[in-house]
Amino acid sequence: MNYIIAEDEKPTAVRLKSMIRAIAPEFNHIETFDSVSSVVKWLKTNQHPNLAFFDIQLADGLSFEIFEQVSVEFPVIFTTAFNEYAIKAFKVNSIDYLLKPVDEDELKGAVKKFQSNSNKPIRIENEAIAIALSQLTNTYKSRFLVKVGEHLRMIEVDDIALFISMEKSTFLRTYNGRDYGIDFTLEQIESLVDPKKFFRVNRKFIVDIKSIQDIIAYSNSRLKLKLAVATDEDVIVSRERVGEFKEWLEK
């Protein structure tokens, strides 16, 4: 099993290589890189490895940028100093993560996971990468790309009144009352849009603060929202979210 390491701190890279050698002596270390550009250059001209360990923050940027420049069809285990909350977004499919300083037992678990899934096809989720980037760089989407018939259209976030989950699909609704299907779940959207502007009031709705025209006390300590756009059902702030919703309004 050939693997590469992308880590801009040399002592950390040496320690990781040593730990891997102890845990999986059959693994063959090919190369260590310290930058996004060096990884991309190497991947474009060499046979790809069976596995990679990527630090998120490299010398010239985030390692997620690698996926934008070259097709990655091998599993990646990320190492990062970011907290667990921030990196939950990209722990999907073949992607795994290790918090720094890397713990030997956690490394062993990640390697075991790789070995047990080594025969499965690899597919890096673009949505997960987008979410991770937004969380780690504190930037949020300014527009969504939607399909209208045979055409693609860009919808600016400022034109979106709410996001809604309907019949196992997700839609955005603009201030002019048009609905457009999007390829994100509400959970993913929560991470992609600015939390100062948007709030998830319940399992079905995420609303823009500008769309709220009235707030009415409702049964069971809930709140009912009157929005600037029509909805087929009442938009209710669930009882569990009322306190957080009020704090959000005050911010």
Mean per-residue pLDDT, 100-120: 82
Task: For the chain, give the mean pLDDT.
Answer: 86
Q: What percent of the chain has pLDDT over 90?
A: 53
Average pLDDT, stretch 55-61?
Answer: 86
How far is C-alpha 168 from the geometric centre of its chain's CA atoms?
Answer: 20
Contact 157, 211 (CB under 8 A): no
> What domains sit in the chain, N to C, each tagged with a CATH number?
2-137 (3.40.50.2300), 143-250 (2.40.50.1020)
Q: Are 100 and 81 in contact (CB under 8 A)?
A: yes
> Which of 49-58, 117-126, 138-147 is the least confident region?
117-126
**Residue bearing the bigger pLDDT, 92 or 36:** 36
Question: Does 124 score more than 90 pLDDT?
Answer: no
User: Is pLDDT above 70 for 182?
Assistant: yes
Q: What pLDDT is attached to residue 93?
A: 41
Q: Which residue(s) pair with 171 in the sheet?
A: 164, 181
User: What does the pLDDT average to over 154-170?
Assistant: 94
The answer to whether 50 touches 3, Cβ cutoff 8 Å, is: yes
pTM of the model: 0.54
Q: What is the CA radius of gyration of the chain?
A: 22
**Which ranges of 94-158 does DSSP label H, i.e. alpha helix?**
104-116, 126-137
pLDDT at 85 exceeding the cut of 60: no
Taking the alpha carbons at both ends of the chain, their separation in whole angstroms is 51
Mean pLDDT of 153-164: 95
Average pLDDT over every residue of 76-102: 65
Question: Which string of DSSP letters, residue by residue, matches 162-179?
Answer: EEEEETTEEEEEETTS-E
Of 115, 75, 127, nearest to 97 (Cα)?
A: 75
| Over residues 93-121, mean pLDDT | 77
Q: What is the mean pLDDT of residues 161-177?
A: 94
Confidence (pLDDT) at 176: 95
Q: State both tokens at 151.
A: 């055409």
- Where residue 69 falls among pLDDT bands split at 50, 70, 90? confident
**Residue 191 banded pLDDT, cuts 50, 70, 90:** confident
Mean pLDDT of 74-86: 72
Stronger pLDDT, 4 or 88, i.e. the higher one: 4
pLDDT surpasses 70 at 135: no
Cα–Cα–Cα angle for 188, 77, 93, rounded to 5 degrees: 45
Residue 69 or residue 245, greater confidence = 245
